[in-house]
Amino acid sequence: MPHPRPLHRSRSVAATLCTVVLAALAAGCAQGDPRQRSGIFSPYKIEVPQGNYVDMAMLRQVKEGMTREQVRFALGTPLLVDPFRPDRWDYVFRFQHPNGSADLRRATVFFAEGRVQKVTSDALPESDEGADPALPGYRRKQGRFR
Protein backbone atom coordinates (compact mmCIF):
# COMPACT_ATOMS: atom_id res chain seq x y z
CA MET A 1 0.00 0.00 0.00
CA PRO A 2 1.48 3.35 -1.04
CA HIS A 3 2.24 5.87 1.58
CA PRO A 4 -0.45 8.61 1.63
CA ARG A 5 0.61 12.17 1.01
CA PRO A 6 0.63 14.34 4.10
CA LEU A 7 -2.61 16.29 4.36
CA HIS A 8 -0.95 19.58 5.23
CA ARG A 9 1.10 19.53 1.99
CA SER A 10 -1.94 19.14 -0.30
CA ARG A 11 -3.73 21.92 1.59
CA SER A 12 -0.79 24.31 1.15
CA VAL A 13 -0.63 23.56 -2.60
CA ALA A 14 -4.38 24.18 -2.90
CA ALA A 15 -4.10 27.40 -0.89
CA THR A 16 -1.22 28.64 -3.09
CA LEU A 17 -3.10 27.79 -6.26
CA CYS A 18 -6.23 29.54 -4.96
CA THR A 19 -4.18 32.65 -4.08
CA VAL A 20 -2.65 32.81 -7.57
CA VAL A 21 -6.06 32.46 -9.24
CA LEU A 22 -7.61 35.15 -7.02
CA ALA A 23 -4.71 37.54 -7.69
CA ALA A 24 -5.10 37.07 -11.45
CA LEU A 25 -8.84 37.71 -11.23
CA ALA A 26 -8.36 40.77 -9.03
CA ALA A 27 -5.98 42.29 -11.60
CA GLY A 28 -8.93 42.62 -13.99
CA CYS A 29 -10.94 44.50 -11.35
CA ALA A 30 -8.56 47.44 -10.98
CA GLN A 31 -10.25 50.71 -10.14
CA GLY A 32 -9.61 54.01 -11.84
CA ASP A 33 -9.88 55.25 -15.37
CA PRO A 34 -9.99 52.22 -17.70
CA ARG A 35 -8.36 54.28 -20.48
CA GLN A 36 -5.24 54.67 -18.32
CA ARG A 37 -4.73 50.96 -17.70
CA SER A 38 -1.97 49.09 -19.36
CA GLY A 39 -0.35 45.77 -18.81
CA ILE A 40 -0.72 42.14 -19.59
CA PHE A 41 -4.47 42.01 -18.89
CA SER A 42 -5.37 45.03 -21.07
CA PRO A 43 -7.10 44.39 -24.39
CA TYR A 44 -5.50 45.56 -27.63
CA LYS A 45 -7.14 48.77 -28.81
CA ILE A 46 -7.06 50.08 -32.36
CA GLU A 47 -7.48 53.45 -34.03
CA VAL A 48 -10.93 53.81 -35.60
CA PRO A 49 -11.35 56.33 -38.44
CA GLN A 50 -14.94 56.84 -39.61
CA GLY A 51 -16.47 59.11 -42.19
CA ASN A 52 -15.03 61.58 -44.70
CA TYR A 53 -11.50 62.86 -44.15
CA VAL A 54 -11.51 66.50 -45.34
CA ASP A 55 -8.70 69.04 -44.92
CA MET A 56 -8.61 72.76 -45.72
CA ALA A 57 -6.83 72.26 -49.05
CA MET A 58 -9.67 70.02 -50.20
CA LEU A 59 -12.34 72.38 -48.87
CA ARG A 60 -10.80 75.39 -50.65
CA GLN A 61 -11.48 73.65 -53.97
CA VAL A 62 -15.21 74.05 -53.37
CA LYS A 63 -16.33 77.42 -54.70
CA GLU A 64 -19.66 79.20 -54.78
CA GLY A 65 -21.68 78.20 -57.84
CA MET A 66 -20.21 74.68 -58.21
CA THR A 67 -22.60 71.84 -59.03
CA ARG A 68 -23.22 68.82 -56.79
CA GLU A 69 -21.14 66.64 -59.12
CA GLN A 70 -18.18 69.01 -58.87
CA VAL A 71 -18.42 69.02 -55.07
CA ARG A 72 -18.63 65.22 -55.04
CA PHE A 73 -15.49 65.10 -57.20
CA ALA A 74 -13.60 67.46 -54.84
CA LEU A 75 -14.72 66.07 -51.47
CA GLY A 76 -16.23 62.67 -52.17
CA THR A 77 -19.69 61.40 -51.36
CA PRO A 78 -21.03 63.06 -48.20
CA LEU A 79 -21.51 60.93 -45.12
CA LEU A 80 -24.88 62.51 -44.37
CA VAL A 81 -27.54 63.72 -46.77
CA ASP A 82 -30.65 64.65 -44.83
CA PRO A 83 -33.78 63.68 -46.80
CA PHE A 84 -35.62 66.60 -45.16
CA ARG A 85 -32.86 69.08 -46.12
CA PRO A 86 -31.52 67.87 -49.49
CA ASP A 87 -29.74 71.20 -50.04
CA ARG A 88 -27.24 70.43 -47.29
CA TRP A 89 -24.37 67.93 -47.41
CA ASP A 90 -22.53 67.07 -44.21
CA TYR A 91 -19.01 65.68 -44.30
CA VAL A 92 -18.29 64.23 -40.86
CA PHE A 93 -15.03 62.62 -39.76
CA ARG A 94 -14.52 60.94 -36.40
CA PHE A 95 -11.25 59.42 -35.29
CA GLN A 96 -11.15 57.39 -32.10
CA HIS A 97 -7.70 57.04 -30.57
CA PRO A 98 -6.71 53.83 -28.72
CA ASN A 99 -6.76 55.71 -25.39
CA GLY A 100 -10.50 56.38 -25.83
CA SER A 101 -10.33 60.06 -26.81
CA ALA A 102 -11.87 61.07 -30.13
CA ASP A 103 -11.58 63.86 -32.68
CA LEU A 104 -14.73 64.99 -34.46
CA ARG A 105 -14.60 67.27 -37.52
CA ARG A 106 -17.41 68.57 -39.69
CA ALA A 107 -17.69 70.39 -42.97
CA THR A 108 -21.07 71.37 -44.41
CA VAL A 109 -21.87 72.42 -47.95
CA PHE A 110 -25.13 74.31 -48.55
CA PHE A 111 -26.78 74.37 -51.97
CA ALA A 112 -29.34 76.70 -53.52
CA GLU A 113 -30.94 75.64 -56.79
CA GLY A 114 -28.39 72.84 -57.22
CA ARG A 115 -25.32 75.07 -56.82
CA VAL A 116 -23.03 75.76 -53.85
CA GLN A 117 -24.28 78.68 -51.80
CA LYS A 118 -21.88 78.52 -48.83
CA VAL A 119 -19.45 76.22 -47.01
CA THR A 120 -18.90 76.00 -43.24
CA SER A 121 -16.49 73.83 -41.27
CA ASP A 122 -14.85 73.14 -37.94
CA ALA A 123 -11.13 73.74 -37.58
CA LEU A 124 -9.56 71.38 -40.09
CA PRO A 125 -5.92 70.46 -40.73
CA GLU A 126 -4.31 72.62 -43.41
CA SER A 127 -3.33 69.85 -45.79
CA ASP A 128 -2.66 66.15 -46.17
CA GLU A 129 1.00 66.31 -45.19
CA GLY A 130 1.06 63.23 -42.97
CA ALA A 131 1.37 65.08 -39.65
CA ASP A 132 -2.27 64.68 -38.65
CA PRO A 133 -2.73 61.73 -36.26
CA ALA A 134 -6.24 61.23 -37.64
CA LEU A 135 -4.93 60.92 -41.19
CA PRO A 136 -5.44 57.58 -42.93
CA GLY A 137 -1.99 56.03 -43.31
CA TYR A 138 -0.43 58.23 -40.60
CA ARG A 139 2.68 56.72 -39.05
CA ARG A 140 3.99 57.67 -35.65
CA LYS A 141 7.36 59.36 -35.56
CA GLN A 142 8.31 57.38 -32.47
CA GLY A 143 8.41 53.66 -32.12
CA ARG A 144 8.80 51.12 -34.85
CA PHE A 145 6.75 52.94 -37.51
CA ARG A 146 8.61 55.57 -39.52
Structure confidence at residue 94 (pLDDT)? 83
Task: Collapse the DSSP code of 72 into the 3-class scheme (helix H, G, I; strand E, B; otherwise coil) and give the result.
Answer: helix
Q: Would you say residue 92 has pLDDT above 70?
A: yes
pLDDT one-digit tens code per residue, 25-79 = 666 555 555 555 555 677 777 777 787 888 888 889 999 999 999 999 999 998 7
What's this model's pTM, rounded to 2 decimal places? Answer: 0.60
Task: Collapse the DSSP code of 24 into the 3-class scheme (helix H, G, I; strand E, B; otherwise coil) and give the result.
Answer: helix
Q: Would you say residue 113 has pLDDT above 60?
A: yes
The strand ranges marked E within the chain are 48-51, 80-81, 88-96, 102-112, 115-121
Query: Is residue 58 within 8 Å of 125, Cβ to Cβ?
Result: no
